[in-house]
Amino acid sequence: NAGVTQTPKFQVLKTGQSMTLQCAQDMNHNSMYWYRQDPGMGLRLIYYSASEGTTDKGEVPNGYNVSRLNKREFSLRLESAAPSQTSVYFCASSEAGTQYFGPGTRLLVL
């Protein structure tokens, strides 16, 4: 039982490049989330998916897209990366109100 896994662990991009962050959970949870964490800002919700086939915007969705591929997987895509998207990205899944987090992806956009 791996819980929530994220790939890659670390990525460096140049401004304008695109990339997809992958997230998978093996806990059979319906809800999944993408957050970014910046110093002094806490965790801010980018997008979430209450169930397979549905996605909704969170607090900071601009510049991102998501895909809920199936119940297990929820990916986050940056179409044209900007330096302001340098951050640590966390994926989470939830059941009964409790969220379980992955180990995070550190993204640096130059």
Considering only the stretches 20-28, 45-53, 63-71, 76-84, report the one whose residues sit in contact with another protein under the rule CB under 8 A: 45-53
Minimum CB separation of residue 109 from another protein in Å reads: 19
> DSSP states of 36-89 as a string?
EEETTTEEEEEEEESSTT--EE-S--TTEEEEE-SSSBEEEEESS--GGG-EEE
Q: Which token pair is 62?
A: 């601009």
Choices 16-24, 64-72, 78-86, 97-105 (CB under 8 A): range interacting with another protein: 97-105
Q: Is 36 in the site for another protein (CB under 8 A)?
A: no
CB of 31 to another protein, least distance (A): 5
Say whether residue 46 binds another protein (CB under 8 A). Answer: no
- Residue 107 β-bridge partners: 11, 87
In sequence order, the 6+-apart residues with CB closer than 8 A to the CB of 62 are none
Q: Is 85 in the site for another protein (CB under 8 A)?
A: no
